[in-house]
Chains A and B, each alone.
Chain A
Amino acid sequence: MSLIVSDLWKKYGEKTVVDHLSFSMEKPGVYALLGTNGAGKTTAIRMILGMLAKDGGEVLWNGTPLHLKSCNVGYLAEERGLYPKYPLMDQLLYFASLRDVPREQAKERIRHWAKKLEVEEYLYPSSSSTGIRGKKKEKPKLADQLSKGNQQKIQFMIALLSDPELIVLDEPMSGLDPVNTDLFKKIIREEIDRGKYLIMSSHQMATVEEFCTDITILDRSKAVLQGNLNEIKKSYGRVNLSLKTETDISSYIEQSGVALLSEKEYEYRLKVQNEDQANALLGLLIQNGVTVITFDLSEPSLHEIFVEKVGEGHEME
Chain B
Amino acid sequence: MKWNKKDFTGTGKVFSFTLFQQLKSKANLVSFAIMLILIGASVPVMAFFMGDKSQSAEFSTLEKVYLSNETDYEVKPEMIQQEDPSFAQTLFIWDESQFPETLGEREAKVSIAEDATGYRILLSYDVFGEVKEEEMSRLQSAVEKAFFNARYQSLDISEEALSLLSTPFDITVETEGAYTGEGESYDFESRFWVQYVYSILVMIVSLFSSIYIIRIVVEEKSSKLVELLMVSVKPLALIVGKILAVMVYLFGTFISWIGVYLISYGITGLFMDVSGIKNAVLSSDAFSSLTHIDPLLIPVVLISLLLGYLTFSILSGIFGTACSSMDEVEGANTSVTFLVLCVYLITCFLPNFSGEWVFVVSSLCPLLSIFCAPVQYVLGNIGLGLLVLSWLIQIGVIYLLARLCAKIYFDLLMYRGSRLKFRQILTIAKRKGASK
Contact = CB atoms under 8 A, between A and B. Distances in A.
Interface of A: 10, 13, 46, 49, 51-53, 55, 68, 73, 75, 77-86, 90, 94-95, 97-99, 143, 155, 158-159
B21 A98 contact: no
A104 B417 CA distance: 40
B223 A84 contact: yes
Nearest to B17: A94
Given A90-B17, A94-B13, A51 B232 contact: no
Contact of A73 (B10, B224, B231): B231
B410 A158 contact: no
B223 A82 contact: yes
B421 interface: no
Nearest to B10: A98
Given A53-B435, A84-B223, A98-B233, A90 B228 contact: no
A51 B227 contact: yes
Contacts, number: 68
Interface string B44-77: 0000000000000000000000000000000000
Give the 9 A-B CB pairs with smallest separation, nearest first: A81-B224, A98-B232, A77-B227, A53-B436, A81-B223, A75-B231, A94-B17, A51-B230, A79-B224
B228 A51 contact: no
A49 B234 CA distance: 12
Interface string B210-235: 00000000011011111111111100
Interface in B193-225: 219-220, 222-225
A49 B435 contact: no
Interface in B2-34: 9-10, 13-14, 17, 20-21, 24-25
B21 A51 contact: no
Contacts of A68: 9, 231-232
Given A55-B433, A94-B17, A98-B13, A83 B230 contact: no
A46 B226 CA distance: 12
Given A81-B223, A83-B225, A90-B21, A97 B230 contact: no
B30 to A, nearest CB: 14
Nearest to A78: B227
Contacts of B17: 90, 94, 97
Interface residues of B, number: 28
A80 B13 CA distance: 21
Contacts of B25: 85
A75 B21 CA distance: 24
B227 A75 contact: yes
Most buried by A among B20, B223, B233: B223
Contact of B231 (A51, A78, A84): A51
A86 B21 contact: yes
Given A51-B436, A94-B17, 10 more contacts: A75-B227, A77-B227, A79-B224, A80-B224, A81-B228, A83-B21, A83-B220, A90-B24, A95-B232, A158-B228
A94 B9 CA distance: 14
A170 to B, nearest CB: 9
A155 B436 contact: no
Contacts of A55: 433
B242 to A, nearest CB: 13
Nearest to A45: B227
Nearest to B224: A81
A83 B433 contact: no
B233 to A, nearest CB: 6
B228 A75 contact: yes
Contact of B436 (A52, A79, A83, A86): A52
Contacts of A52: 410, 436
A96 to B, nearest CB: 10
Of B10, B25, B219, B228, most A-chain CB atoms within 10 Å = B228
Contacts of A81: 222-225, 228
Contacts of A75: 227-228, 231
Contacts of B436: 51-53
A41 B433 CA distance: 19
A231 to B, nearest CB: 32
Contact of A77 (B10, B222, B228): B228
Contacts of B220: 83
Contacts of B228: 75, 77, 80-81, 95, 155, 158-159
A85 to B, nearest CB: 8
Contacts of A143: 223
B231 A97 contact: no
A59 to B, nearest CB: 14
Interface in B337-377: none
A109 B116 CA distance: 98
17 contacts: A10-B433, A55-B433, A75-B231, A77-B228, A79-B227, A81-B222, A81-B223, A81-B225, A82-B223, A83-B21, A83-B219, A84-B219, A84-B223, A86-B21, A90-B24, A98-B10, A158-B228
Nearest to A11: B433
Contacts of A77: 227-228
Most buried by A among B20, B25, B224: B224
Nearest to A87: B24
Contacts of B232: 68, 95, 98-99
B223 A83 contact: yes
A15 to B, nearest CB: 12
Contacts of A85: 25, 219
Contacts of A95: 228, 232
A152 B420 CA distance: 30
Nearest to B14: A98
A53 B433 contact: yes
A203 B278 CA distance: 73
Contacts of A99: 232
A75 B233 CA distance: 13
Nearest to B416: A79
B225 A82 contact: yes
Contacts of A82: 223, 225
Contacts of B14: 98
Contacts of A46: 227
A99 B13 CA distance: 10
Contacts of A90: 17, 20-21, 24
